[in-house]
Structure 1
Amino acid sequence: MALRVLRVGAGLLMVACGALMYAASWQRWAGACAWGEADSALCTVRQDHRYDFLPPAAPWEPVGDAAELAGWSLLVLALAFVLLPWALTGRRPGVFAAMALVGAVLATAVVGAATLRSGLAGSVVEATAHDLASFVWAFVPPALLIRFAIDSRGWTLAAAALLVLGTPLVAMFSYAVGPYDAQPWYEGISGLLTATAGLCLLGAAAFGGRPQRSGSIVTSSVPTAAR
């Protein structure tokens, strides 16, 4: 029961995170680029990196509430990360994974807060220890998620794989690369991947099951044989 509750909580947070990121992407691209369009004059202008908000970097020009929504999305993601080791694998993380998890949570929260503050201020607000936080935020989560994926099966393996695909590092070298600067709606793609991962965790809570292993947070009662 405890594992199901954790998976439901993590799944709902991931769905909310993905929805917020898609909404942020909509703020940037709607009205400039139809889905799948990249060649119109206004769309070409909007692809410029000065409109990027993950995270904002000078020179930056805000578009609507994109940065605020993206900041909230990252803060929700940081909260979800706290639950992910148990939700994905059904057991507590090892020492090194736990240390990486702390770093991922803190870096994601720091970058998310700076992104939110930038949106509210209308100008770039750099994160505390900007370079370190940005590096950890970009590189640690995908490595950590791949580690969790190794111990996942079925619904949770699908969730871990989708979360890896939704990370900034993967996006940076694939679907975020556009014909000019940024690929239209790439943040929305990341949001959809994250939200779908959340649905997979909800599926794991509803239909999944895992055998008991050492370190599991779920215990089962096995009748002992009568002497």
Structure 2
Amino acid sequence: MFNAIAVPLIVIFSFSFALLLNRQIKGLAFFRSFFILPLVIPVASVILVWNIMFNEYGVVNGILSNFNLQPVDWLRSDWSMAVLIILYLWKNCGYNMILFAAGLNSIPKEYYESARIDGAGWYTCLSKITIPFLIPTGFFVVMISVINSFKIFREAYLLAGSYPSLRIYMLQHFMNNNFFNLSYQRLTTAAFIMSVGIALLVLVLFKIEARFGRNI
């Protein structure tokens, strides 16, 4: 469930933010730094910040109490999925933005100039020039995003422990718990399922990239 929600979101957000930054609008330096910052911050520091914000007596619940709202157990309730997705987006969006920005800068400007001379608008340039040329970059971004979505177990484990809310209980939790319980048959089965699933997903992505990227 986490992968199905988080991966499309991060691809859409990082692509949109890269388009925004590519327009060179003034005042976006802070916006750029906000997403690049997680690339240089250790994971332990990120988890510490998230705990300060979302624990039972954290900043977010403090804000809610100021409005006479009931505090939420963000890491042990149904909201835990949203908290983890936000963490995943913030932590990985900056790298994807850099990849998309590099892809945007590699598109010859003459194509856009010719299209505008012919009367093409912003949407036409996006759909006929930008997106087709960014298919290889987008494929790589999706691959990296899928890999990072499986690596988010580290953050989920540090935030909520071995037995978190079922909303963020991942296959890696199952594998980790069975390792400590010496249930190696279950561990091996789970590892095999994960390996096959990732391999099939990568194969599907390669097929999609080959189909839509052949005409570029």
After TM superposition, is the score higher than 0.5? no
Q: Higher helix fraction: Structure 1 or Structure 2?
A: 2
Q: TM-score, normalised by structure 1?
A: 0.29
Q: Which has the higher contact order (CA 8 A, sep 6+)?
A: 1
The structure with the largest alpha-carbon Rg is 2
